[in-house]
Copies of this chain bind each other. A is one copy, B any other.
């Protein structure tokens, strides 16, 4: 990264109380089959200010089948060293450095970063500015973790925490530099 970053990175994600974003097989029943939050839990307000979405291959393979495609209002960048696709709704980049360069060249302003592995990589690289974490009231005991290993502590500042309906709790944090 030689060019100054033009954009900020934002996380908006739901996890179990024990920190999983999906079951080991990717299953989301624990998220979708229970009580829903009030409205959409703030998702449309969050995405209204987003221009680009950066996700990993795992997330892409889950959402590729969604009909209609849920990301019409933002440009979608998929980070994968192996994915080959003719899906013209997305741009594939091969490394995090390439993603940063692409987003910066594209004049991105607010980037939604999604998926546990990509979120952790971006946290490690100092590319995340704030996080909205919605805790779903269940302990799964196993699954795909929201957070992984980091090279150093990432200090946060807690902005808010409140119930949002459906038994869910939403926490808002900014990353302290």
Contact = CB atoms under 8 A, between A and B. Distances in A.
For the complex formed by this chain, how many copies does it contain in all?
2
A126 interface: no
Contacts of A163: 158, 160-161
Interface stretch (A51-59, A86-94, A105-113, A149-157): A149-157
Interface residues of A, number: 35
A137 B176 CA distance: 10
Given A19-B19, A133-B17, A161 B171 contact: yes
A50 to B, nearest CB: 22
Contact of A158 (B141, B149, B160, B168): B168
A49 interface: no
Which one of A139, A146, A156 has the highest number of Cβ atoms from chain B below 10 Å of its Cβ? A139
20 contacts: A17-B156, A135-B161, A137-B155, A137-B156, A137-B173, A138-B156, A139-B147, A139-B150, A139-B153, A139-B156, A140-B150, A140-B153, A141-B147, A141-B149, A142-B150, A158-B163, A158-B169, A161-B161, A161-B169, A162-B162
